[in-house]
């Protein structure tokens, strides 16, 4: 259920927001196609409740572009290719441009080989990786994507930011109910969520975060360093994701950032794995079995106090449908900033 928003946040049609963001990136120098592609990912993030990866990022994207830390004119290129692998250099192109292109190239290869592993290096803010996994599922592929970037989360046992909150997304095509899509961080909670809770001085459970000095805290206001999900489990996933993305691509992110050397700004990276469903099973039979899994799980007897069992992606799809029909709420200060960026 969406929480009631304050009355001062008017609703905006997603198409109008898309147009606004497209104009901003056109002004920054993107091609019409790239600008629309960036706007798609950002507006989808707001529609599906991933505000931290949505319109709120536009000002920082613009600042990165102006500072030369993002190149809106860059075209990602294939550096090495085999029938089932691609090493893609994003050349600091905006994350959505690099990731959408890489996912498309991976799917083209997987149509011939059955599957493909596309490794993207030197992208900037990768964006909501669930968006790219969903695109693949909508085209008939099972997808698994994970990423790594700048250290924000403490490694298990460490008192300083030492690993990315490395996200992982998995998606498969479905039938009438649409794809299943899971999109999660390897931290217990995101920095964005901690900031929301800090704004109302909330308490947080033990094990969520450390203070900036590395001490455990139960106050959101003091929380500065998120802790990994399940301790050694989330920490281990983030370590292996860094090894299988940045390190495998020859562009490590975590070590240069921790050692603070001149290479500390080489950006983020991501691994995109896609499998053509048809390489294993008839797609119609697969879709029917996914729907049977969905229906069977939703009908399970529930724990006391649970209203429903939600399948991965179900709530964000409902939210997107509502946002498309009713419009999206955007904080007026952010809207003013976006409008100014479009007119610069």
**Please, which of residues 84-143 interact with its own copies by CB under 8 A?**
84-85, 87, 110, 112-117, 119, 142
Distance of closest approach, residue 100 Cβ to its own copies, in angstroms: 21
> For residues 216-231, b (16+ Cβ closer than 10 Å) or e, as one string?
ebeebbbbbbbbbbee
Please tell me whether residue 300 binds its own copies under the rule CB under 8 A.
yes
**Could you say which of 5, 259, 264, 340 contacts its own copies (CB under 8 A)?**
259
Name which of 1 and 300 has its Cβ closer to its own copies: 300
Q: What count of other Cβ atoms lies within 10 Å of the Cβ of residue 308?
A: 8
292 binds its own copies (CB under 8 A): yes
Residue 89 CB, nearest approach to its own copies (Å): 12
* Residue nearer to its own copies on the CB measure, 232 or 336: 232
Choose between 10 and 265: whose C-beta lies nearer to its own copies: 265
Residues 165-194 that bind its own copies (CB under 8 A): 170-172, 180, 182, 184, 188
CA 238 to chain centre: 15
232 binds its own copies (CB under 8 A): yes
- Look up residue 101 and give its two tokens: 């292109």
Candidates 33-41, 55-63, 68-76, 276-284; binding stretch for its own copies (CB under 8 A): 276-284
Q: How far is the CB of 210 from its own copies (least distance, A)?
A: 7
CA 82 – CA 72 distance, rounded (Å): 28
The runs of H, that is alpha helices, within 114-138 are 129-138
Query: How do strand 225-226 and strand 141-148 relate by DSSP bridges?
Result: unpaired
- Restricted to residues 9-68, the positions that interact with its own copies (CB under 8 A) are none
Question: Per this entry, what is the length of the chain?
Answer: 344
CB of residue 198 vs its own copies: minimum separation in angstroms?
21
Q: How far is CA 212 from the centre of its chain?
A: 25
How do 180-184 and 141-148 pair as beta strands? unpaired
Question: In whole angstroms, what is the distance from residue 92 CA to residue 281 CA?
Answer: 38
Placement of tokens 């050692």 in the chain: 259
Nearer to its own copies, 172 or 328 (CB): 172
Question: Hey, which residues between 235 and 254 contact its own copies (CB under 8 A)?
Answer: 236-237, 239-240, 242-244, 247-250, 252, 254
CB atoms within 10 A of CB 43: 25
Q: Are 155 and 300 in contact (CB under 8 A)?
A: no
Structure letter (DSSP) for residue 51: G
Q: Tell the smallest beta-carbon distance from residue 166 to its own copies (Å).
A: 12
Residues 196-215 that bind its own copies (CB under 8 A): 210, 214-215
């Amino acid at each position: 259920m969406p929480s009631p928003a304050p009355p001062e946040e008017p609703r905006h049609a997603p198409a109008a927001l898309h147009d606004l963001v497209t104009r901003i990136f056109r002004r920054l120098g993107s091609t019409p196609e790239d600008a629309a592609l960036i706007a798609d990912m950002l507006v989808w993030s707001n529609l599906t409740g991933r505000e931290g990866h949505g319109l709120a990022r536009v000002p920082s994207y613009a600042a990165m572009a102006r500072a030369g830390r993002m190149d809106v004119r860059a075209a990602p290129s294939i550096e090495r290719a085999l029938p089932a692998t691609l090493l893609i250099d994003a050349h600091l192109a905006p994350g959505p441009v690099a990731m959408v292109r890489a996912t498309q190239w991976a799917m083209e290869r997987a149509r011939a080989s059955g599957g493909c592993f596309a490794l993207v290096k030197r992208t900037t803010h990768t964006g909501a990786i669930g968006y790219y996994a969903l695109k693949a599922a909508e085209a008939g592929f099972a997808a698994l994507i994970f990423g790594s970037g700048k250290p924000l989360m403490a490694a298990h046992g460490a008192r300083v930011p030492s690993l990315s909150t490395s996200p992982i997304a998995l998606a498969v095509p479905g039938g009438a109910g649409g794809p299943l899509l899971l999109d999660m961080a390897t931290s217990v909670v995101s920095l964005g969520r901690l900031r929301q809770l800090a704004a109302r001085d909330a308490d947080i459970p033990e094990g969520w975060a450390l203070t900036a000095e590395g001490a455990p805290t139960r106050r959101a206001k003091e929380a500065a360093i998120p802790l990994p999900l399940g301790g050694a489990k989330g920490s281990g996933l983030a370590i292996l994701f860094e090894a299988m993305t940045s390190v495998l691509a020859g562009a490590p992110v975590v070590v240069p950032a921790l050692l603070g050397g001149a290479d500390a700004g080489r950006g983020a990276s991501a691994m995109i794995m896609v499998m053509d469903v048809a390489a294993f099973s008839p797609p119609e039979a697969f879709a029917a079995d996914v729907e049977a899994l969905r229906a069977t799980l939703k009908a399970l007897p529930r724990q006391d106090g649970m209203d429903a069992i939600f399948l991965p992606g179900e709530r964000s799809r409902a939210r997107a449908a509502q946002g498309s029909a009713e419009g999206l709420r955007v904080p007026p200060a952010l809207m003013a900033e976006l409008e100014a960026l479009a007119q610069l």
